[in-house]
């Protein structure tokens, strides 16, 4: 009997020291996360430049309509970032002395190589997102989710979370209203769910947005 109760005491002690270690581990983890997220955001994100800069403003003056480059295909899928086919008509040969245009022609048009544009809003592979459901189905403006990118003079820098590898726009906890974050608009889970709640009265279940 007494051995059994000794064993019980011993394992209770083991268990409680396990808890103490776990609590210290948690405190350490939380402290380092707080430092990472609040005090040293620069350490948390690495910055990448787009392969070439691009002025939406200049091109909207030329083309008038977003759909010249971002359009829905016949099957309803969204074209996303433009391919060289959307540029070649005008940029087969240099027409300005602009260094961005020169780089674009030398490195991509002449080599017939697609530009590896960085997608600020790129979602993790487990997330399902459809432009058609939002833009066509619910008559939404591009600005609602992307901000006024379509009239900007240049492409802003892309910030990548060093831990997750995701774009800063999509990962992390949302604390500011949509569009008011200092790094631009965001497409985080909470932003999606907040709008769904507002528009439909329900946040939706996990499998609405996850594969």
Give the binding site for ligand HEC (CB under 6 A): 52-56, 58-60, 62-63, 66, 68-70, 80-82, 86-87, 89-91, 96, 98, 100-101, 104, 117, 119-124, 126-131, 133-135, 137-138, 140, 142, 144-146, 149-150, 170-171, 187-189, 191-193, 195-196, 199-200, 203-204, 206, 208-210
The label of the residue with tokens 């003079």 reads 153
Q: At its nearest, how many Å lie between ligand HEC and the CB of residue 108?
A: 8
By beta-carbon proximity to ligand HEC, the closer residue of 14 and 83 is 83
Q: At its nearest, how many Å lie between ligand HEC and the CB of residue 10?
A: 38
By beta-carbon proximity to ligand HEC, the closer residue of 142 and 157 is 142
Please say whether the dihedral angle defined by the alpha carbons of residues 36, 42, 43 and 48, taken in this order, is positive or negative. Answer: positive
Burial category of 186 from C-beta neighbours within 10 Å (exposed 0-12, middle 13-18, buried 19 and up):
buried
b/e code 150-175 from CB counts within 10 Å (16+ = b)? beeeebeebbbbeeeebbbbbbbebe
By beta-carbon proximity to ligand HEC, the closer residue of 10 and 176 is 176
By beta-carbon proximity to ligand HEC, the closer residue of 24 and 103 is 103
How is residue 62 written in tokens? 């030329």
By beta-carbon proximity to ligand HEC, the closer residue of 4 and 64 is 64
Q: At its nearest, how many Å lie between ligand HEC and the CB of residue 143?
A: 7
Q: At its nearest, how many Å lie between ligand HEC and the CB of residue 1?
A: 47
Cα–Cα distance measured from residue 59 to residue 106, given in angstroms and rounded to the nearest whole number: 20
Cα–Cα distance measured from residue 19 to residue 26, given in angstroms and rounded to the nearest whole number: 10
By beta-carbon proximity to ligand HEC, the closer residue of 20 and 135 is 135
Q: At its nearest, how many Å lie between ligand HEC and the CB of residue 21?
A: 26
Those residues with Cβ within 8 angstroms of residue 52's Cβ, 6 or more apart along the chain or in another chain = 100, 103, 104, 107, 108, 115
The answer to whether the CB of 54 falls within 8 A of the CB of 100 is yes
């Amino acid at each position: 009997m007494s051995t059994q109760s000794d064993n019980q005491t011993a394992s209770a002690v083991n268990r409680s020291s396990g808890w103490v270690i776990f609590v210290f581990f948690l405190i350490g983890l939380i402290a380092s996360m707080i430092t990472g997220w609040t005090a040293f955001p620069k350490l948390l994100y690495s910055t990448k430049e787009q392969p070439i800069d691009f002025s939406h403003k200049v091109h909207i003056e030329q083309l008038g309509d977003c759909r010249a480059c971002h359009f829905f295909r016949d099957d309803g899928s969204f074209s996303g970032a433009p391919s060289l086919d959307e540029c070649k008509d005008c940029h087969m040969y240099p027409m300005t002395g602009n260094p961005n245009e020169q780089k674009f022609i030398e490195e991509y048009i002449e080599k017939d190589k697609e530009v590896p544009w960085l997608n600020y809003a790129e979602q993790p592979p487990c997330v399902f997102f459809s432009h058609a459901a939002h833009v066509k189905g619910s008559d939404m403006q591009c600005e609602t989710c992307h901000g006024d990118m379509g009239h900007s003079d240049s492409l802003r820098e892309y910030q990548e979370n060093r831990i997750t590898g995701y774009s800063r726009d999509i990962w992390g906890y949302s604390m500011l209203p949509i569009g008011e974050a200092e790094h631009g608009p965001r497409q985080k889970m909470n932003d999606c769910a907040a709008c769904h709640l507002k528009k439909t009265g329900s946040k939706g279940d996990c499998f609405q947005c996850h594969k």
